[in-house]
Each structure stands twice: as C-alpha cells, then as structure tokens.
Amino acid sequence: MNIAIIPARIGSKRIKKKNIKLFFDKPLISYSIDLAKKSKLFDNIIVSTDDNEIKDISKEYGAEVPFLRPKNLSDDFTPTLPVISHAINECLNLGFNFKNVCCIYPTAPFVTISDLLSSFKLLNENKDYFCFPITEFPSSIFRSMTLYDKFKVKLLYPENEQKRTQDLKIAYYDCGQFYWGTKFKWLNSKKVHSNGMGYIIPNWRVIDLDTEEDWKRAELLKKLTED
C-alpha cells in the first residue's frame, strides 16, 4: 500500500502563498493532488500543512488533512526529510496502513503519471534506496567558472578548457518534484540524495518555482504543452 504526502506550508517569501496561488484558474497545489489521484497509486493522499486555508483548499480538491504540521517544522530552514517523517508518524498514529511513501511537492505541475509509475517501478526493484527525478544540466558544469574583481573569470576546472563539451561527463541535478521511498527508509535515513536513484526526465519539464520570473516561464510552458 502506498500513500502520497504533499508538504505545503504557507510561509513562501518570494511568491506570496505560492502553494495555493492560482495557476491557470486552479490553486497550484491542486495539480499535485490531481496527479496523485489520477495515478491510482495511492490509498491516501495527505497534505502536510501549517495553515487552515491550505487545509481547506486541499480537502476541496480531494486530499486528506488529518493533522496540522507544527510551526517548528514549517520555517524556511527545515528540510523535507523531517517533514515527511513527521507526517508518516502522524499517519501511523492515526491507524493508516502503508508500505511506500511518495513525497510530491505542491509546486510541480509538470510531473506526469508516467513519471510516477516508472519511478515507482524503479523503487520496487531497489527497495534500499530513495528514487527521485533528475535532469541533465543545460550546460556542462565541468566548464563552469566564477567571477572575481567584478568581471574577470576563473575556471573551476581549468584542465577542461580545451576539451569539447561532448567529451565531458554528463552531470545531473535534482528536479525538486517528488521522492519515493519505503516507510522504513523515510523513518531511518538522515539523507535522501546520497541514498538515492535517479529517474531521468527531460530538462524542458523542470522549472523551480521560486521567483515571479519562474512563474511566468511556467505559464508559458503550460500554454505550449496544451496547444
């Protein structure tokens, strides 16, 4: 049995009330709730929030909010793992029965059902790991540089200056969309990435919604993918 946990606090700084801001006439969090429902992978879809407005909207779109997240797990510095561990323990105390947990961020409107299904298959084949989506950096990090004295550049990997980018290793980064793991893994791990497997998705579907510019890019992508 599987449950989805969607962590959605109210205190977004750069985009006010980001998790419930309207994205094409629907609260942003509703896309993650709808995705979890349509995937048919989950016996329960839980929203972990510290806010009653998010609670009401989440329930309106079909999620369960059987508890509120404490304030000490709702600040800008709390990582995802303790938030999900708290939610798992709350669900266990309420009598929920489940084996696997998928944390789905409320800011991931471009995740597909196929993403969830394929990554869940990967998890089932490798129970000792977390599984999460990764994507290729748009440019090789092994040709990256820093600035000093305002405009001068310094290569981080000077040994690669004369190499072709296609001859360099491919590097990936966490898409920040969802994370699969067994209940045991969530409750007994201190780190996710160093205990993880990467499910590769194309980088055109990855937008980190942190700024108003990110939001505009997401709106443009949404229009393009619906045309």
CB 186 within 8 A of CB 88: yes
Percent of the chain surpassing pLDDT 70: 100
Instruction: Read off the pLDDT of each residue in 154-165 and give the average, rounded to a whole number.
Output: 95
Calculate the average pLDDT of the chain.
Answer: 95
| CA–CA dist 181, 183 (Å, integer) | 6
Confidence (pLDDT) at 138: 92
Report, as an integer, the average pLDDT of 3-27: 93
pLDDT of amino acid 39: 97
Query: Helices marked H in 175-211 — which ranges?
Result: 183-188
The per-residue pLDDT for range 39-79, each reduced to its tens digit, is 999 999 999 999 999 999 999 999 999 999 999 999 989 99
pLDDT band at 225 (very low <50, low <70, confident <90, very high): confident
Q: How many CA atoms lie within 13 A of 71 on its CB side?
A: 0
pLDDT tens digit string along 74-118? 998 999 999 999 999 999 999 999 999 999 999 999 999 999 999
**Euclidean distance between CA atoms 48 and 206, whole angstroms:** 23
Q: Which residues of 174-200 are buried (b: 16+ CB within 10 A; e: fewer)?
A: bbbbbbbbbbebbeebeebeeebbbbe
Predicted local distance difference test score (pLDDT) of residue 161: 95
Query: Does pLDDT of 24 surpass 90?
Result: yes
Supply angle C-alpha 98, 99, 104, rounded to 5. Answer: 85
Please give the pLDDT value at position 150. 87
Average pLDDT of the residues in 132-146: 96
Q: What is the chain's length?
A: 227
For the cut 90, the answer to whether the pLDDT of residue 14 exceeds it is no
pLDDT at 227 over 80: no
**If pLDDT is split at 50, 70 and 90, which confidence band does 21 have?**
very high
Residue type, 45: I
Q: What is the arithmetic mean of pLDDT over 161-180?
A: 95
pLDDT score, position 12: 82
pLDDT at position 226: 78
Delineate the domains of the chain, giving CATH numbers in brackets: 2-226 (3.90.550.10)
The pLDDT tens digits of the residues spanning 183-208 come to 999 999 999 999 999 999 999 999 99
